[in-house]
Chain A
């Protein structure tokens, strides 16, 4: 018999209440119950970073956290980072510097980069690459991703 539990999570500024199975991963709840499919699942081993969201301001892999653990937390997904007519600086950087090819890793890359810039507004290239160690791109697009983040940092500090 499956027992569910009640959770209350602020997602992209909106309070969401749900009954979830304890084993429901945060990423599955976001994608399947809330239809926030911008957060991707690229692996099953906590390595690829396509599922990175912010939980209480910190970048986390939503495939490695149960939705139950997010009870009482504030979650930001790629959908909540910027708007189509007002992109977040990092989204703008990816646009300007062609920071994606297939785009699958992009939401996680952007969420990771946004957290990096929030705590280090002017990172060196080495610091950017170190921060991206948990995000895999299979189109070999790292160079442009780094440039995109540098573009965002420049914009943010200008």
Chain B
């Protein structure tokens, strides 16, 4: 389908983008366009004005300062996946980016765009939650940082306010990481995806964060499992017993792809696999 009509302007800077965004009533930001354009083509979304931020250099690329990695909001999934800095120091986001959609989607889609869209079956949210990432947003009245735990507020809903834009994501160094995805073969989205970030000290789990995508109306964190496994060894028997009945099917999504009960079972299985693999690396 053809999208509704809109005006189109390219922003040269974050400030200019915020100004243009505020200037039109139904404006939207356009970066890679891989969430926005399909939605506009289905006429689920309409915008009177698109502000193209793909040319804002400050929003692109991965940089490292000590143990913190900063990923510009307009960095494509492919560039996240291929980042040598991330691959060596904090590989989870790079590994997750490498299994998003397909190569053409990864060539255009951006991390900031995906997070802002907040599709409940997108891959990044699980990793963002597991890493305890910080999301930097800018608005006309200044900048602020939103913790991953507070970022997703509902299906396609985030804590980013009207008139604000995501400028970057920062994540800590972490090598005990893994993402397990049960992929829907047609859409490429996660039926369920579980990301784990584990630190093992003296043979036992000293820290653990687990993020889940695809299962519920929004990405979620398994805090109960995290505390249950604190101080335990990450052996198969322990993980099998801990990763059982993690989420109630009643809280999950059931649709033509998978029933809620099946998704609940996938959460158990994928959490166990993700933690085992992450612990072996961490």
Contacts and interface: CB of A to CB of B under 8 A. Distances in A.
Contact of B6 (A22, A44, A115): A22
A64 interface: yes
A66 B37 CA distance: 8
Interface in B97-114: 101-105, 107-108
B8 A22 contact: yes
A87 B103 CA distance: 24
Contacts of A63: 41
A46 to B, nearest CB: 5
Contacts, number: 76
Contact of A59 (B37, B52, B107, B187): B107
Contacts of A44: 1, 41-42
Contacts of B78: 58
Nearest to A71: B10
A86 interface: no
A133 B188 contact: yes
B34 A133 contact: no
A127 to B, nearest CB: 11
Contacts of A131: 103
Contacts of B8: 5, 22, 66, 68
Interface centre among B3, B33, B105, B186 (most CB of A within 10 A): B105
B55 to A, nearest CB: 9
Interface in B27-63: 30, 33-34, 37-38, 41-42, 50, 52, 54
Interface in A117-158: 131, 133-135
Q: For chain B, which range describes its interface: under 10, 10 to 19, 20 to 34, or 35 or more residues?
A: 20 to 34
A28 B103 CA distance: 22
Contacts of A52: 104
Contact of B34 (A46, A68, A112): A46
A47 interface: yes
A134 B101 contact: yes
B4 A23 contact: yes
Contacts of B188: 133-134
Contact of A115 (B2, B30, B103): B103
A134 to B, nearest CB: 3
B141 interface: no
B7 interface: yes
Given A49-B104, A69-B52, 20 more contacts: A5-B8, A22-B6, A22-B50, A23-B3, A23-B6, A44-B41, A45-B38, A46-B34, A49-B102, A58-B107, A58-B108, A60-B108, A64-B33, A64-B38, A65-B37, A69-B54, A131-B103, A133-B103, A134-B101, A134-B102
